[in-house]
Amino acid sequence: MLPDLYGALACVHLSPCARGTRPVHVRTCPLDERTTEAAVIVSTVSRTYALALRLEEYHGRWITTALELA
């Protein structure tokens, strides 16, 4: 994960019901050999979230370069 993105996520405080939640649906869309975008639906007891993220290959690892949460 990019350092700026990680810093922004570290400031987010999740409610206890959000911790440990698993995705219920994942859809990926490869853009090229080194870039993939994904849409993820995550459901908790009280709410459903949509996530969009971009993953890019960097030195043999996937790194999150963009993340949107709705």
Alpha carbon dihedral 20, 25, 30, 34, in 10-degree steps, equals 10
Alpha-carbon distances, residue 36 vs 17, 22, 32, 67 (angstroms): 29, 20, 7, 12
Would you identify the CATH topology of the domain 3-69? Answer: Nuclear Transport Factor 2; Chain: A, (3.10.450)
Global pTM exceeds 0.85: no
3-state secondary structure of 32: strand
Domain range annotation of the chain: 3-69
Ordered per-residue pLDDT tens for the chain, 70 residues:
777 877 777 776 666 656 667 789 999 999 999 999 999 998 887 888 899 999 999 999 999 999 998 8
Alpha-carbon distances, residue 50 vs 18, 27, 43, 44 (angstroms): 13, 11, 9, 12
